Every structure is written in C-alpha cells, then in structure tokens.
Amino acid sequence: MSRSILVISRAAVGPRMASPGIRAYQIAGALARALPEARVTLARPAGQDPVTPPEPSVRIVDYRSNWELVRLARQHDVAIARNFPPYFIALMGRTLLAFDGYTPLLIEWLELAERDIAPRWRRVWSASNRWYVNLQLTMADYIFCADERQRDHWIGMLVALALLPSQVYERDPSVRSLVGVVPYGVPPTPLSPNGPAMRGVVPGIGPNDRILLWHGAVTDWNDPITAIEAVHRLGQKRGDLRLVFMGVDHPDYVFGPNAGKLRAAVAKARELGIEGKSVFFLPGWVPYDAIDSYLAEADAGICLGYETVESRFAFRTRYVDAFRAQLPLVCTRGDVLAERVERDPLGVAVPERDVEAVSRAIERVLDDADFAAECRRNLAAIADELSWDRVIAPLAEFCARGESNAAPLAKRRRDAILRAATYYVLKKANRNGPPQR
C-alpha cells in the first residue's frame, strides 16, 4: 500500500543548514529510498533559498504558519517532526504522528535557561517547556531517538506520564514498536570535496599546516576555551598547528555571532595573541554542499564540553561528520559517542577542562601515525554502521506498518487537551514579563 509521509523541519533547510534541518532533510531522503512506493514530502519554514531535494522523488514545500502545517499534515498518512504545534491535537487518530526525540529537549533547555532567562522567570519558562514536551509525547504514535540511552530517557517519561499502560506492554514487551532508535546518520554518498576550502584560502593556513577542525556551532555546553589554551600551549613548541572554528553564524539563530561562549572564545584567542595565527573563526556558516571540502582538508576533529547531564544524554551530531571523513577525534568524556571514541578507539576522550590532557590528545591524533591509522580503520567501520540507509529502518517500518502502538487514543486525546491548555496558560504568564535578561 502506498503511503504519504510528511517530514516537517522546524529549522532551516536550504543551502545553509544546521543539524536539525540536515536531519529532517536526510530522513526524507532515506525514507524515499527505503519506501520507494511512498510519497515523501519535506516541509520547511518559508523564506529560504531553493535547495536540491535529497532524492528526486521527494517534494519540498514551504509553510508559513502552524495552521498551514496542520492542513498539510492532514493530507498525509504519517507526519514526522522534532516538535508538533499543539494544533496537531486535531489530527490525532487521523494522521500518525512520529516524534523525533534525538535531542532531549528539557535537558537542553536547562542549559539555554542559564544564558537567556532571568532567574525570576526561569521557573515559569521551564514549566511551560515541560508541559510542551509532555504534550509531544502524548500526541505521538511513535517516538524515535538517537541511541539507547536516550530511549531509556523517553521510556521513563512515558511511564511517568501514564503513557505506557499494560495493554501497550502486552502487545510489545520490548516497546520497540512505540520507541525506536534512529541515530543521526551518514549520507549514502562518499566524501566529495569540490575545491580548496582552508589551505591557501584562509590567510594564515598553509599547505603543510596541521588542521584541527571544530565542526559546527559553539554552544553554551561547549568548551572552546580549553581547546584554545591547549593550542596556545602546543604553539610554544610547534608552529604548524591550526585550530579552525568552521562556522559562527548559526542558521537557526539560537547560537549566533553574539552567543556568550563564542564571544568568550574570540576574546581568549585575542588575549593570547593567536587569533588569525593558530586559531581561526570562519565568518558566516559553511554551505551544506561545501562541508566535505573542509572535512577533507582537516587532519583531526575536536569538540570539547563538560561532563553534565546534558552531555550524558547528548548524541553529538557533529561527531558523525568526523566519522564519515575518518578524522580522529579529540572530545570530552561524558556522552555516548565519546565512550565509543575511547573504546574503539576513534580518537582520544579527555576529562573536562584539562588543558594538559587535551594537549597530549592533540599530539597523539596528529603525530602518532600508527594510532591515527587505527582510528581511521575504526572510523570507516562506524561510518558504515551509521549510514542513513541502515539507521532509518525502525522509522521506515513504522511508516510502512501504518499502525499506532501508543496508549489508547481517547485517553491520549483528553490528556493532550489538558496539557496544551496548561502550556498556553504558562506561556501567557511567561509573556506577561519579559524573560530576556
């Protein structure tokens, strides 16, 4: 039976996009390949430049409002999104809703609240977000996430919300038909650089320099300062090391050129006198079709953070591009992929805020040829394991099955109305006083 599938991106999908938009884009393409008889549509926010569909059969449409999204989803058998507007309650029982929980939103928002929300408004803001996420889980006919640790997180929330009753468990004790794992994947095409990107292009980066690539944004839970200090330390004895922050102007505007951690990183590089010499902040945001050129020129990847509850449940999507490019990685311990980096090995995982450990790790991935070769062999294997055409299988099976194994619809619909109403009350209370600092 032919099914119509709508993949909704709430983030930018265009020539420049970050991981949320890329994930939606690649999911649409992978579903089109896995279910060639299905009609797959990718919906993106209006006002963006044209982009080539991930597969010729995928239709890309723009939407301008949440109501327009509801009307669009009503025309499809399945709708997939990182978050659904509350209006989607009207579609429960009509269109199957698959919630993409690859980012544990409540935990990520705790980090954002520290930066953006004045202390007296944090409680209301956090409460409204909690009801919003609870609503997503209540509306969902299927939930998928990036790894088994995240799956435990979402199952725990379902249990706490009484969304995992005995009849659901009896039908499927594994609960895989309700909560599945679809990691952030590796594209089906090989790395395809299309010209020089850094060497001989960026002033200060020469043909023989060793490039350490910070791929992606600098967020509140990243630690660029330790990376910069380690590069400065190593620069006392070698002149070939270049740390490149690949893009500073996030296309979704959550983290932009004025984000606190990025400002601090630029200030630290200037304080040490190494900006434009051994540390580089590339302006703008690298176009999606140019990323391969940067990855191909790098010698290793780096991404540092902190050992927090955010990192415990994070799936660092930027690591996956390093895996695809077979770049040995220097990263902070604490997240599920960092455990693989340390175990396989795929690079070196270090303690948080440890400049000496980061310095040693950088030297190892760059200068120990045998270790780097071992990492690259292992990276090739994990890149194959994470190919989109492999990891999409649970979501494709749900779409093909066309049935929900969620809690009874009548109860979920009642709970969803209550949770949506509470969310709107809290959201209005939050607007009554400006939450921004």
Question: Is residue 366 in a domain?
Answer: yes
What value, to the nearest 5°, has the Cα angle with vertex 266 and ends 261 and 268? 90
Q: Tell me: do 262 and 347 sit in the same domain.
A: yes
Name the token pair of 380.
């090739």
Question: Is residue 198 in a domain?
Answer: no
- Cα 365 to Cα 120, 134, 227, 280, 322: the distances in Å are 46, 43, 14, 20, 13
- Cα 154 to Cα 72, 106, 143, 371: the distances in Å are 27, 11, 8, 37
- Cα 412 to Cα 90, 372, 394, 398: the distances in Å are 12, 51, 23, 19
Q: Tell me: do 234 and 292 sit in the same domain.
A: yes
What value, to the nearest 5°, has the Cα angle with vertex 372 and ends 367 and 376? 155
Question: Is residue 437 in a domain?
Answer: no
Q: Tell me: do 257 and 126 sit in the same domain.
A: no
Give the structural domain span for 169: 4-187+395-431
How would DSSP label each residue in 14-79? SSS--HHHHHHHHHHHHHHHH-TTSEEEEEEESS------SSTT-EEEEE-SHHHHHHHHHTSSEE
Q: Tell me: do 355 and 214 sit in the same domain.
A: yes
Question: Is residue 195 in a domain?
Answer: no
pLDDT of res. 260: 78
Q: Tell me: do 370 and 244 sit in the same domain.
A: yes
Residue 175 per-residue DSSP state: -
pLDDT of res. 116: 59
Q: Tell me: do 231 and 378 sit in the same domain.
A: yes
Question: Is residue 422 in a domain?
Answer: yes
Q: What are phi and psi of 272, to 5 degrees?
A: -85, -5
Q: Tell me: do 73 and 139 sit in the same domain.
A: yes
pLDDT of res. 248: 80
Q: Tell me: do 141 and 52 sit in the same domain.
A: yes
DSSP alpha helix (H) spans, 309-392: 309-313, 317-324, 336-343, 355-367, 369-385, 388-391
Domain containing 84 — which CATH number? 3.40.50
> By CB neighbour count within 10 A (0-12 exposed, 13-18 middle, 19+ buried), where does 265 fall?
buried
Q: Tell me: do 143 and 102 sit in the same domain.
A: yes
Handedness of CA 174, 179, 185, 188 (dihedral sign): positive
Strand partners, 100: 144
Q: What are phi and psi of 181, to 5 degrees?
A: -120, 120
How many separate domains does the chain show? 2
Going by C-alpha positions, the residue among 187, 192, 188, 288 that lies closest to residue 246 is: 288
Residue 209 per-residue DSSP state: P
pLDDT of res. 431: 63
pLDDT of res. 433: 46
At 173, the amino acid letter reads: P
Question: Is residue 192 in a domain?
Answer: no
Q: Tell me: do 374 and 399 sit in the same domain.
A: no
Question: Is residue 145 in a domain?
Answer: yes
Q: Tell me: do 425 and 381 sit in the same domain.
A: no
Name the token pair of 308.
């927090």
Question: Is residue 54 in a domain?
Answer: yes
Strand partners, 224: none
Handedness of CA 413, 124, 106, 264 (dihedral sign): positive
H or E stretch including 145? strand 142-145
Q: What residue ranges of the chain have pLDDT lower than 50? A: 255, 257-258, 432-437
How many CB atoms neighbour CB 237 within 10 A? 8
Q: CA–CA separation, 434 vs 117, rounded Å? A: 9
Q: What are phi and psi of 189, to 5 degrees?
A: -95, 145
Q: Tell me: do 160 and 217 sit in the same domain.
A: no
Domain containing 217 — which CATH number? 3.40.50.2000
